[in-house]
């Protein structure tokens, strides 16, 4: 009798082992996790790979790959915050930090694991730590270069591209261009390298070289909407708004489903052509495509303000801030709308908030300086403070408008000789910048200072 019971229990145990998914084993979880990642199911990939790693059943190659894949899944989860909202908001959830920790583990197992350096650089980039990203990409390039033959389709080339992107984010455009040059040397018809190098030239202010590179990228691959968008931006920067609009039209034609950015940029071109209604229509279209597009609300507010409809402008700026609470530019713009409406307390609060968010927000310093220097209400004027704020703005960015504000601040402080000299510099700078439509106003300010009168906003 006891023997029969034993056999029955043994058969039952075998059935459980065969039928229960809990006995799948680490290698099966590893394979399932890899498959889940390939399908784009990051949560399942993380769960399965975590189980596989903990099983102790993976060999060295499988274990380092499992850490790499789980790191990739964490990055995908972090990036989702950007695509959903238009800005990165997942640092508090630690997705990128978790990715970095996984790549660290992979590199502990294999210090020459090039792709782990490459992928860890992506996490550093998303965290805004471009120095660490550059260091990792340099290490990746070194490891990839050890292979006997470089595969042009490998991440060796991509590492140069991404390191170039990191240099751009650091503002070192010459080093970025050098990296893109290397890609073109390896693959002479690499449209992406011409596209990125064109953007680097644009950021350096060399718009003709930018347009040449972006045109070459279009010749190689004419169906890339972003390249038309970037060339449109270069034309926009040159003040050639009709050519910019033509390129934005082409970008929208190629990719209408993801065209919110193209409508935004075309809206800017219409705005600076003085056609505010068409600008507003484009921003509205961008919002229809992507309702959480904070930048579109901000820019539409800017066009409403240009039309003198400050209430609609304030509503749009408020929506932009609701979507993106750290949007310093939207606070500054809303502050200027409040100023135009004569609500100076709210204006000062918004300018102050913009500076609190971004201590280098030169437009906010300039806006607050202008109000403090020229406000028609005596209560809000303070010449000494206006000079300090205007000098801060000018130290951050040298342009005619900021010189104009500093001159007004000097005049409010009773320093008329300095006001006159600074306003003359502002007029010279304005002519160099091509801002002729503002010239009569600048000259009116100069006449006021020569008469010993500070400027008052009308």
d(CA 78, CA 96): 6
Looking at residue 457, its pLDDT comes to: 93
d(CA 187, CA 158): 11
- CB within 8 A of 314, min separation 6: which ones? 301, 334, 337, 338, 341
Measure the CA angle with vertex 381, ends 380 and 384; round to 5°.
135
Looking at residue 82, its pLDDT comes to: 52
d(CA 104, CA 113): 10
d(CA 102, CA 84): 25
d(CA 227, CA 225): 5
Query: With contact defined as beta carbons under 8 Å apart, do 418 and 338 qualify?
Result: no
Query: With contact defined as beta carbons under 8 Å apart, do 406 and 371 qualify?
Result: no
Looking at residue 90, its pLDDT comes to: 44
Question: Which among 312, 10, 241 has a CA at the least distance from the CA of 298?
Answer: 312
Question: Which among 375, 321, 331, 334 has a CA at the least distance from the CA of 353?
Answer: 331
Element spanning 279, H or E: helix 276-289
- CB within 8 A of 74, min separation 6: which ones? 42, 46, 95, 96, 98, 99, 102, 123
The SS3 of residue 455 is coil
Tokens of 416: 């008329």
- CB within 8 A of 326, min separation 6: which ones? 87, 357
Query: With contact defined as beta carbons under 8 Å apart, do 238 and 434 qualify?
Result: no
- CB within 8 A of 201, min separation 6: which ones? 173, 177, 207, 209, 210, 213
Tokens of 263: 């409508």
d(CA 168, CA 195): 13
d(CA 31, CA 38): 11
Q: Is the pTM of this model over 0.85?
A: no
Burial degree of 434 (CB within 10 A; 0-12, 13-18, 19+) = exposed
- pLDDT tens profile 119-170: 999 999 999 999 999 999 999 888 887 764 556 556 788 899 999 999 999 9
Distance between alpha carbon 17 and the CA centroid of its chain, in Å?
Answer: 52
d(CA 176, CA 197): 8
d(CA 183, CA 185): 5
Domains and CATH numbers, the chain: 1-84+93-109 (1.25.40), 367-378+390-458 (no CATH)
Query: With contact defined as beta carbons under 8 Å apart, do 399 and 429 qualify?
Result: yes
- CB within 8 A of 355, min separation 6: which ones? 328, 361, 364, 365, 368
Distance between alpha carbon 340 and the CA centroid of its chain, in Å?
Answer: 30
Residues in the chain: 458
Burial degree of 171 (CB within 10 A; 0-12, 13-18, 19+) = exposed
- 3-state SS of 201-228? HHHHCCHHHHHHHHHHHHHHCCCCHHHH
Tokens of 244: 């910019």
Q: How far is CA 425 from CA 8, 266, 411, 418, in A?
A: 99, 33, 15, 11
The SS3 of residue 376 is coil
Cβ atoms within 10 Å of 360's Cβ, excluding its own: 12
Q: Identify the segments of the chain with pLDDT beneath 70.
A: 1-24, 81-93, 147-154
Tokens of 20: 């229960």
Looking at residue 149, its pLDDT comes to: 54
């Amino acid at each position: 009798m006891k023997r029969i019971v034993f056999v029955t229990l043994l058969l039952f145990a075998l059935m459980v082992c065969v039928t229960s998914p809990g006995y799948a084993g680490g290698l099966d979880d590893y394979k399932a996790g890899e498959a889940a990642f390939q399908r784009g199911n990051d949560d399942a990939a993380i769960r399965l790979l975590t189980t596989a790693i903990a099983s102790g059943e993976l060999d060295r190659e499988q274990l380092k790959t499992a850490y790499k894949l789980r790191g990739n899944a964490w990055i995908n989860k972090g990036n989702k915050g950007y695509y959903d909202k238009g800005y990165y908001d997942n640092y508090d959830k630690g997705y990128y930090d978790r990715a970095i920790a996984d790549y660290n583990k992979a590199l502990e197992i294999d210090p020459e694991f090039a792709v782990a350096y490459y992928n860890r650089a992506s996490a550093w980039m998303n965290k805004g730590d471009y120095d660490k990203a550059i260091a990792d990409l340099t290490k990746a390039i070194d490891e990839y270069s050890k292979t006997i033959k470089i595969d042009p389709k490998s991440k060796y080339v991509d590492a140069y591209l991404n390191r170039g992107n990191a240099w751009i984010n650091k503002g070192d455009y010459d080093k970025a261009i050098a990296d893109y040059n290397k890609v073109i040397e390896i693959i002479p018809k690499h449209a992406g390298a011409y596209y990125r190098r064109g953007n680097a030239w644009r950021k350096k202010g060399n718009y003709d070289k930018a347009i040449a590179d972006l045109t070459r990228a279009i010749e190689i691959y004419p169906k890339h909407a972003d390249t038309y968008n970037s060339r449109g931006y270069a034309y926009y920067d040159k003040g050639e708004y009709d050519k910019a609009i033509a390129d934005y039209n082409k970008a929208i034609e190629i990719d209408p489903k993801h065209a919110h950015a193209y409508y935004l940029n075309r809206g800017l071109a219409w705005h600076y052509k003085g056609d505010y209604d068409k600008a507003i229509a484009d921003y509205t279209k961008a919002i229809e495509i992507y309702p959480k597009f904070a930048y579109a609300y901000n820019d539409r507010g800017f066009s409403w303000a240009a039309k003198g409809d400050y209430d609609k402008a304030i509503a749009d700026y408020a929506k932009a801030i609701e979507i993106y609470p750290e949007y310093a530019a939207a606070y500054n713009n809303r502050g200027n709308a409040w100023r135009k409406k004569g609500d100076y307390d709210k204006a000062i609060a918004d300018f102050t908030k913009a500076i609190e968010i971004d201590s280098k927000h030169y437009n906010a310093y300039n806006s607050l300086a202008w109000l403090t220097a020229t406000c028609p209400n005596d209560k809000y004027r303070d010449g000494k403070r206006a000079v300090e704020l205007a000098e801060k703005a000018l130290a951050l960015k040298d342009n005619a408008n900021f010189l104009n504000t500093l001159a007004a601040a000097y005049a409010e402080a009773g320093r008329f000789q300095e006001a006159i000299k600074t306003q003359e510099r502002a007029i010279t700078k304005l002519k160099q910048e091509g801002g002729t439509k503002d010239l009569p106003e600048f000259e009116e300010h100069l006449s006021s200072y020569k008469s010993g009168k500070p400027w008052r906003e009308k």
